[in-house]
Amino acid sequence: MGDKVLNAPIVGMANDPATGGYWLVGSDGGVFAYGDATFRGSMDNKQINAPIVGMASTPDGKGYWLVASDGGVFAFGSAGYFGSMGGKPLNQAVVGISSSPTGSGYLLAAADGGVFAFGDAVFQGSEGGKHLAGPVSGIASASGGGYWLVASDGGVFAFNTPFLGSMGGTRLNAPVVGLASTADGSGYWLVGADGGIFNFGDAHFSGAPATSPPSAPIVGITRTRG
């Protein structure tokens, strides 16, 4: 959507595992489909209580969820609705959502490291109530049912899945704003707001716009098909 007039800034993206296409979502709930990804609906022009902050696709690529900062979840296509934190008290805002391996559930992460599990997603622990060097900015599910959280300082927290490294304690040019796991769950990437990419485990580095800073901050990352 570069050089196009948007009603609201883009805040997240998700890949279509079936086609290799992808979706972008704006804070107003507008969804934009690219490649062979199919538009399944959006919250555009609908009243929402809080801005959208992220999205996640179903494993079959036929649906997706949007999540708002108040924990509200909106399901489209084959994505099932399994509950949300909308209308419930939160210590800090929700910042991300990740599908369970089966697509019959999802995890929400809050900025304080709190994790909320719905459907068949299993709660494996959180950083809620603990001192963090930076707020949590993303969550990614592992193939075995565990998950990782990432904080703005690049710290990674692993729950029932291997810790494969982080940028915690390393000087960064810009805060980390998201992470994505590899298809087999044996690696992950972190992305900085300046477009910097950091890879761990079997995640391969394929380049980053380090010498050509983006015109606007990067807000998230997703893997391609496979």
List the chain pLDDT tens, one digit each, 226 residues: 556 677 899 999 999 999 999 999 999 999 999 999 999 999 988 999 999 999 999 999 999 999 999 999 999 999 999 999 999 999 999 999 999 999 999 999 999 999 999 999 999 999 999 999 999 999 999 988 899 999 999 999 999 999 999 999 999 999 999 999 988 888 999 999 999 999 999 999 877 765 566 767 878 777 766 5
Cα(116)–Cα(88) distance, integer angstroms: 12
> What distance in Å separates the CA atoms of residue 100 and residue 161, rounded to the nearest whole number?
14
Compute CA distances 6 → 29, 201, 207, whole Å.
Answer: 12, 36, 27
Whether the CB-CB separation of 212 and 169 falls below 8 Å is answered with no
pLDDT per residue as tens digits for the range 111-131: 999 999 999 999 999 999 999
CATH topology of domain 10-201: Methylamine Dehydrogenase; Chain H (2.130.10)
Q: How many CB atoms sit inside 10 A of residue 208's CB?
A: 17
Burial of 125 (0-12, 13-18, 19+ CB in 10 A): middle
Domain spans of the chain, in order of start: 10-201
